[in-house]
Structure 1
Amino acid sequence: MKKIILALALSISASAFAVSVDSVRGGYGFVERGHSYSKMIDVLGNPDSSYSHIIHDRNGWPHKAVTYSYSLNNARYEITVVDGAVYSINWERA
């Protein structure tokens, strides 16, 4: 019984996580952390969806952020843009 519960917990947790990556490949090149919002749009095109939120830096200061969602090659990418530059890229299996 314990083995079944463990296997179930592992299968659920394996499908519900995102991994931070350094870059994402689009049709015309790569988008990396630090690239501009316009470069992201040029390489990846228009996002599937987006939402605005606030993030805090190491000193606790708030910054406006927008997270854009893309579905590329059976994977889902969430790219967060802060102050016009790519702040983070998260990858999740679709």
Structure 2
Amino acid sequence: MKKFILVIMLAVCSSAYAVSVDSVRGSTAFVERGNSYSKMIDVLGSPESSYRHVIHDRDGWPHKATSYIYQVNGQKYVITVVDGAVYSIDWER
């Protein structure tokens, strides 16, 4: 039983996680929450990949969102865009 608990604890501690950040630095400028989609493309270029999904606001209303995945200086960032503006920036470790 002790080994089982130890294995579970090690798996949880070593798993990858994402941290929400306020901005990401491109080669010429920063991309921050609230910036437009076009500024994100101008600063970071085209993403490695993207996927569409639905997010819900605090009131439970659905909104169409697209998440873009970037590799910047060896770090993975997932930038979510809703209604043409950067909604969130997550740094994945």
- Structure 2 vs 1, CA of residues 58 and 12 (structure 1 numbering), >3 Å: closer, same or farther? closer
> Residue 87 of structure 1 aligns with which residue?
87
Q: TM-score, normalised by structure 2?
A: 0.87
- Structure 2 vs 1, CA of residues 7 and 72 (structure 1 numbering), >3 Å: closer, same or farther? farther
Can you give the 5+ residue segments of structure 2 that lack an aligned partner in the other structure? none
In the alignment, the residues of structure 2 paired with residue 8 and residue 74 of structure 1 have an alpha-carbon distance, to the nearest angstrom, of 29
Q: C-alpha displacement at 1:11, in angstroms? A: 6.7
Q: TM-score, normalised by structure 1?
A: 0.86
> Residue 49 of structure 1 aligns with which residue?
49
Q: Kindly report structure 1 stretches of 4+ aligned residues shifted beyond 2 Å.
A: 5-15
> Residue 21 of structure 2 aligns with which residue?
21
Partner secondary structure for residue 43 of structure 2: helix
> Residue 38 of structure 1 aligns with which residue?
38
Q: C-alpha displacement at 1:13, in angstroms? A: 3.0
1:67 aligns to 2:67 (yes or no): yes
Partner secondary structure for residue 47 of structure 1: coil
- Structure 2 vs 1, CA of residues 8 and 58 (structure 1 numbering), >3 Å: closer, same or farther? closer
- Structure 2 vs 1, CA of residues 72 and 8 (structure 1 numbering), >3 Å: closer, same or farther? farther
- Structure 2 vs 1, CA of residues 9 and 20 (structure 1 numbering), >3 Å: closer, same or farther? same
Q: How many residues align?
A: 93
- Among all aligned residue pairs of Structure 1 and Structure 2, give the percentage whose two residues are the same amino acid: 70
